[in-house]
């Protein structure tokens, strides 16, 4: 199943993981909307990147439907207010950071990949991945039409190629 918020990435290969909201309190804490299912993205010591700077998380805690974050580089409310609305990027996680046996397909690896069926026939490229409560959906361009294919039909994934085994009629 695709993980991470990764339909948005920057040229360096970083992934968008959230957006900074309002300042909270006087000591530089900010509200943060995490758009990744990987909460280690906001763990103390994590390094996050805005358009112009890198920030090291010094403290984090869940608060209502968001997170409250403190950064080593931000000491007061005035500095925190300057971050309002900043989109935040993080480096992709590598395999060593995954739990044993965790089978993960990253969204940023799917977008642009060729989709083939189990016979090897080329269906088309993945142009996007959409979130859906039942299963994430790959948007595959097939003969000029965009077709939604649930990721649960992926039977093989290698760099640049996704093999699916869809039911008849899909």
Per-residue model confidence (pLDDT) at position 97: 53
Highest-confidence segment of 8-17, 42-51, 123-132: 42-51
Per-residue model confidence (pLDDT) at position 107: 73
Return the half-sphere exposure (C-beta side, CA atoms, 13 A cut-off) of residue 86.
Answer: 22
pLDDT band of residue 5 (cuts 50, 70, 90) is very low
Distances (CA, A) of 87 to 18, 28, 34, 54, 77: 6, 17, 10, 12, 18
Domain pair 2-94 / 111-164, same fold:
no
Domain ranges of the chain: 2-94, 111-164
pLDDT, mean of residues 133-150: 88
Per-residue model confidence (pLDDT) at position 170: 66
- Comparing CA positions, the residue from 108, 127, 141 lying closest to residue 36 is 108
CA 46 distance to own-chain centroid: 15
Distances (CA, A) of 64 to 4, 12, 31: 21, 32, 10
> Among 57-66, 100-109, 122-131, where is mean pLDDT lowest?
100-109
Beta bridge pairs of residue 33: 19
What is the CATH number assigned to the segment(s) 2-94?
A: 2.40.30.60
Per-residue model confidence (pLDDT) at position 141: 93
What is the CATH number assigned to the segment(s) 111-164?
A: 2.30.30.240
- Comparing CA positions, the residue from 167, 94, 92, 157 lying closest to residue 126 is 157
If you write DSSP's letter for every residue of 96-107 in order, what string do you get?
GGSPTT---EEH
pLDDT at residue 4 greater than cutoff 50: no
Can you give the pTM of this predicted structure?
0.58
Per-residue model confidence (pLDDT) at position 11: 47
pLDDT band of residue 104 (cuts 50, 70, 90) is low
């Amino acid at each position: 199943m695709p993980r991470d918020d990764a339909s948005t990435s920057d040229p360096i290969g970083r992934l968008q993981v959230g957006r900074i909201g309002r300042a909270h309190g006087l000591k530089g804490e900010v509200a943060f909307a995490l758009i990744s299912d990987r909460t280690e993205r906001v763990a103390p010591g994590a390094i996050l990147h805005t358009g112009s700077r890198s920030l090291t998380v010094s403290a984090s805690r869940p608060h209502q439907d968001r997170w409250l974050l403190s950064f080593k580089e931000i000491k007061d409310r005035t500095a925190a207010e300057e971050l309002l609305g900043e989109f935040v990027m993080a480096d992709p996680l590598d395999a060593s950071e995954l739990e044993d046996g965790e089978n993960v397909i990253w969204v940023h690896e799917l977008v642009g990949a060729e989709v083939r069926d189990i016979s090897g026939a080329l269906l088309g490229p993945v142009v996007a991945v959409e979130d859906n409560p039942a299963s994430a959906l790959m948007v595959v361009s097939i003969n000029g039409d965009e077709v939604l294919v649930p990721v649960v039909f992926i039977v093989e994934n290698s760099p640049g190629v996704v093999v699916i085994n869809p039911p008849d009629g899909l």
